[in-house]
Structure formats: structure tokens, C-alpha cells
């Protein structure tokens, strides 16, 4: 007879974030690529972005965000059982970035590995981590979303305006009350594989002088495909977790989405019938930090008092691949 595995409620017990000091404004980009500050603000909602300094890499940002999350939780690094780093821009092709973060934090007892679901990476990481805590396999997990997209951006192309660098983190553990995650769902559709991609550098097209000369180690995106996919799957994913939890859109206090662009989020809110005032945004200051978007925004909303204990919070993201997902939690 199969054994019944009792799943515990899992909650976020600490958050942290970090963005580099260097700021690049729209005006600075306007001087070097065919775009304008007015267009970027109107269509993307971005005014500026943070860029990692020379010598900083994804693990640099991840370590600082993780350290701040641990401090916020009051849990020492030595008590962490697992570290998950969601990133599409690892320090190296191998080994993973997470063990480097583990060593820097002094979390000697923690298992550590990376997850790559691009902008949906933090949702994927939270879902994986919650399974370990929920089943009792782990007590406390540190989930970090960190990316340095500036390292895979062609700064001569018009689409360089979309991304910035940053990292956010959350410590998750079991809950002894009704707070915590109520439902989490992940999705993928590989038919969108080419719509956002870095063509070279992997096993399909290893790095050569020719691939470097052709700029194939920087991202390429189909903006229309990104928009059309996002405005379809964001509302669908949120409706799914609400229905499975027996709730409706009217019950949501806050939507904490990844930051793909203001137009995408406004259209998603319209399709859901949720006032846009319930959507958190910080893309005006940071642009799209990929895996870092949700945890950075979540940290800011929690520390500023915008999110309060007892609030119903929805997390949602869509990333290249396509990958997407949503989570619903009682804060």
C-alpha cells in the first residue's frame, strides 16, 4: 500500500534584495541606440536600470541578497538545509552558481543547485523548495533569484533597454498557522523556444571566434511574441491558482509579478478584472531583472509595509522557453 505523505504548510519567513550601485538612465541609452526616453517610459515603464560593476557577477549579487534575507529571518546560515539559485546568467557554465553562494554565506550544511527558467526562475525555485520543506525533507530553504543580464546584452541594439541587474531572496520554512503558500503551479511550452534566446555558448553552438564576432552570445527576442504570450499566460496562471484555492480575483490584496513591461502588466490586470493599483511594480527603477524581479519587489513591498500579515498575495511570472507559473500565499 502506498504511503500517504503529509505536506506541511510552507511560508516565507524572511526576504532580502540587492541591486548594484551603477545607474544607467534612458537618456544615456538614447544617446547611443535608436530609441527615446519617452518611448521607453510609455511602453515599458522604465526610467533607469542598475548595472553590475566590473568584478561583480551573479553570485556577488546573490550572496548579498541571501545575506539580507537571512538577517531578516533571524535564521543563521548554518541552519539552512538547501540553497536554490534561480538564474539564466550563471557565473560560469560549470559549476553551478549556488555552491559558490553557499560557501560565501557559510551555509556548510546546505545542499545547493541552480534552476534556469529565466524570468520564471524564482517561481520555479520557490515551488521546488516548498516541496522539500512541505514533505519534511528540509527544514529551511533559501531561494535566490539573481541575474546579470548586462553581461548578455548587446548595448548597440534597441532591445538593450529592457533589462537590468539585481538579486532578491526569500527564506522559506514550515508554518504553524494558516499563513503560507496555498497553491503553486508551474507550466512550460517549448514551442516558444526561439522567441527569446541566447543562440551560442551552449552545446548546440559552442563558442568560437565566429559566434563572438556575430554577437551570438547576447540575447535575441521577438517582442511581439513575448507580449502575446505574457498577456495570455499571466491571467490564466493566476486564475488557475485562485480556482484551486476556492478564491476569486476580488480576494487578492496584492499581485507581485515579474516585471516584463508596464503594458503587459496593465493588459494582464485588465483581462483579470483586477485594479492595476493592486499590481506591484518597480521596473521604473530597475527595469526587468529576470529571476530577480519578484523577490526584489516582494522584499520592497514587505519592508515598506505595503504587504501586511494576513494579506492574500499572488506571485506570477513568465520566462523564455516558454516557462511560467503562479503561486498564492497568505502572508
For the chain, the structural domain boundaries read 10-177, 182-330
Give mean pLDDT, residues 77-84: 98
DSSP string, 122-181: HHHHHHHHHHHHHTTS-SEEEEEEEEEGGGG--TTSGGGGGB-EEEEEEEEEE-SSS-EE
- Counting Cβ atoms within 10 Å, is residue 187 exposed (0-12), middle (13-18) or buried (19+)? middle
The question of whether 217 is a catalytic residue gets the answer no
> Among residues 116, 119, 160, 254, which one is catalytic?
119
pLDDT at 84 over 70: yes
DSSP letter at 114 equals E
Catalytic residue among 26, 72, 116, 288: 288
H or E stretch covering 24: strand 22-25
Confirm or reject CATH 3.40.47.10 for domain 182-330, answering yes or no. Answer: yes
> Among the options 72, 116, 258, 282, which is catalytic?
258
Q: Which three cell numbers stand for residue 184?
A: 503553486
Q: Using one digit for the tens of pLDDT, what is the confidence trace for 89-99? A: 999 999 999 99
216-268 confidence digits (pLDDT tens): 999 999 999 999 999 999 999 999 999 999 999 999 999 999 999 999 999 99
Q: How confident is the model at residue 202 (pLDDT cuts 50, 70, 90)?
A: very high
Asked if domains 10-177 and 182-330 share a fold, the reply is yes
Q: Kindly report, residue by residue over 86-143, the tens digit of the pLDDT.
A: 999 999 999 999 999 999 999 999 999 999 999 999 999 999 999 999 999 999 999 9
Establish whether 254 is a catalytic residue.
Answer: no
Q: At the fourth CATH level, which superfamily is domain 10-177?
A: Thiolase/Chalcone synthase (3.40.47.10)
Task: Label residue 7 by pLDDT band (50, 70, 90).
Answer: low
pLDDT in tens, 141-193: 999 999 999 999 999 999 999 999 999 999 999 988 888 999 999 999 999 99
Amino acid at each position: 500500500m502506498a504511503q500517504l505523505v503529509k505536506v506541511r504548510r510552507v511560508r516565507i519567513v524572511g526576504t532580502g534584495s540587492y541591486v548594484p550601485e551603477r545607474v544607467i538612465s534612458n537618456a544615456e541609452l538614447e544617446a547611443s541606440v535608436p530609441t527615446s526616453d519617452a518611448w521607453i517610459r510609455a511602453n515599458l515603464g522604465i526610467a533607469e536600470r542598475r548595472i553590475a560593476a566590473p568584478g561583480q557577477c551573479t553570485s556577488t549579487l546573490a550572496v548579498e541578497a541571501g545575506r539580507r534575507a537571512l538577517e531578516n529571518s533571524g535564521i543563521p546560515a548554518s541552519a539552512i538545509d538547501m540553497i536554490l539559485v534561480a538564474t539564466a546568467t550563471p557565473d560560469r557554465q560549470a559549476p553551478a552558481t549556488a555552491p559558490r553562494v553557499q560557501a560565501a554565506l557559510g551555509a556548510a550544511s546546505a545542499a545547493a543547485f541552480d534552476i534556469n527558467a529565466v524570468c520564471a526562475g524564482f517561481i520555479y525555485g520557490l515551488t521546488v523548495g516548498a516541496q522539500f520543506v512541505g514533505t519534511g525533507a528540509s527544514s529551511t530553504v533559501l531561494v535566490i533569484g539573481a541575474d546579470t543580464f548586462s553581461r548578455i546584452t548587446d548595448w548597440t541594439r534597441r532591445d538593450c533597454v529592457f533589462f537590468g541587474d539585481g538579486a532578491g531572496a526569500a527564506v522559506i520554512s514550515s508554518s504553524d498557522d494558516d499563513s503560507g503558500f496555498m497553491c503553486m503551479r508551474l507550466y512550460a511550452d517549448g514551442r516558444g523556444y526561439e522567441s527569446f534566446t541566447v543562440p551560442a555558448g551552449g552545446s548546440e553552438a559552442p563558442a568560437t571566434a565566429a559566434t563572438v564576432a556575430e554577437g551570438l552570445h547576447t540575447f535575441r527576442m521577438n517582442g511581439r511574441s513575448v507580449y502575446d504570450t505574457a498577456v495570455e499566460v499571466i491571467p490564466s496562471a493566476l486564475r488557475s491558482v485562485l480556482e484551486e484555492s476556492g478564491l476569486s480575483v476580488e480576494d487578492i490584496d496584492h499581485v507581485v509579478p515579474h516585471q516584463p513591461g508596464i503594458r503587459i502588466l496593465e493588459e494582464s490586470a485588465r483581462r483579470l478584472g483586477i485594479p492595476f493599483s493592486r499590481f506591484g511594480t518597480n521596473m521604473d527603477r530597475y527595469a526587468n531583472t529576470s529571476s530577480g524581479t519578484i523577490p526584489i519587489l516582494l522584499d520592497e513591498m514587505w519592508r515598506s509595509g505595503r504587504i501586511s500579515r494576513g494579506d492574500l498575495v499572488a506571485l506570477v511570472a513568465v520566462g523564455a522557453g516558454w516557462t511560467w507559473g503562479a503561486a498564492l500565499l497568505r502572508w
